[in-house]
Amino acid sequence: MKGFWHDAAEFFPILMNGVALTIVVTIGSLLLSTVLGLIWAMMRVSGIRALSMISASLINVIRGIPIIVLLFYLYFVMPDLGVTLSALQAAILGLGIAYSAYQAENFRAGIEAIDKGQIEAAQSIGMGWWLTMRRVVLPQAVRIVLPPYGNVMIMMLKDSSQASTITVAELALQGKLIASSTFKNTNVFTLVALMYLTMSIPLILLVRHFEKRAGKK
């Protein structure tokens, strides 16, 4: 145990560099997946057949490709097509696109859970599609959508470790580098696990708060 604390003190600063990148990747891809997910969901419920079909097939394509393959594609294949991305850019883009499919399905479920009478009431006072969405549907859907959204945040925090496969030196990769140069596998990976857990706990509490609020109504 004494050895663990000693190693922890030594490796902690290096691992914190990894934590910083983990947070950048998580927040970046979270924002991107939210924006893309909203766009896919809006296309899906637009009532315009072409848009809805494009969105549905896009979501299925994204869902059907493993995140790691998406990352390899962006980082290793795109340069052949003349688009060179930094590892960090590719990681945020890849995770953002991958998770946009889940976000979209979550948003769509929230939007479709709103009572049809609400939409008719909005229409009956002359609101068009966009105004109905913005003033009536989305504010009510947010309550429904937030708890699963929080879960996606936790999953994205953990899946940001996949960025290590394309050389982003985030927490998991930093841990691996230290472990392979010091052979202190147990201590290093225990520390890495504890650091992920520490970052997850506030998110877990946040989800619980969202769930309580959604249940209250």
Partner 1 sequence: MIELSDVHKSFGQNEVLKGITASVEKGEVVCIVGPSGSGKSTILRCINGLESYDRGEISIEGLKVDRDTPSIVNIRTQVSMVFQRFNLFPHRTALENVIEGPLYVKKEPRAQALERGRALLAQVGLAEKADAHPPQLSGGQQQRVAIARALAMQPKAILFDEPTSALDPELVGDVLGVMRKLADDGMTMVVVTHEMGFARDVADRVLFIDGGVIVEQGPAKALLNQPQHPRTQDFLRRVLHPL
Residue 120 is a binding residue for partner 1 (CB under 8 A): yes
| d(C-alpha 152, C-alpha 36), whole Å | 14
In angstroms, how far is CA 22 from the centroid of its own chain? 12
Structure tokens at 93: 């883009």
CB of 10 or CB of 120, closer to partner 1: 120
Rounded to 5 degrees, φ, ψ at 214 are -65, -35
Residue 139 is a binding residue for partner 1 (CB under 8 A): yes
Report the nearest approach of partner 1 to the CB of residue 144 (Å).
12
Residue 127 is a binding residue for partner 1 (CB under 8 A): yes
Chain positions 96 to 115 lying near partner 1, rule: CB under 8 A, are: 115
**Span near partner 1 by CB under 8 A; candidates 9-17, 100-108, 116-124, 192-200:** 116-124
CB of 2 or CB of 217, closer to partner 1: 217
Residue 124 is a binding residue for partner 1 (CB under 8 A): yes
Pick the closest to residue 171 from 6, 14, 4 (CA basis).
14
Figure out which of the listed residues 69, 121, 201, 205 binds partner 1, where binding follows CB under 8 A: 121
Structure tokens at 114: 């709103």
**Span near partner 1 by CB under 8 A; candidates 53-61, 63-71, 102-110, 129-137:** 129-137
Residue 89 is a binding residue for partner 1 (CB under 8 A): no
Residue 125 is a binding residue for partner 1 (CB under 8 A): yes
Helices then strands, each counted (H, E), the chain: 9, 0
Pick the closest to residue 97 from 65, 140, 141 (CA basis).
65
Residue 135 is a binding residue for partner 1 (CB under 8 A): yes
CB of 132 or CB of 174, closer to partner 1: 132
Residue 214 is a binding residue for partner 1 (CB under 8 A): no
Figure out which of the listed residues 52, 89, 123, 165 binds partner 1, where binding follows CB under 8 A: 123
Q: Is-contact 210 146, C-beta < 8 A? A: yes
One-letter amino acid at 111 equals I
Residue 200 is a binding residue for partner 1 (CB under 8 A): no
Residue 48 is a binding residue for partner 1 (CB under 8 A): no
Q: Is-contact 160 95, C-beta < 8 A? A: yes
Burial class of residue 126 (count of CB atoms within 10 Å of its CB; 0-12, 13-18, 19+): exposed
Q: Is-contact 211 147, C-beta < 8 A? A: yes
Site residues for partner 1 per CB under 8 A: 115, 117-118, 120-128, 131, 135-136, 139-140, 217
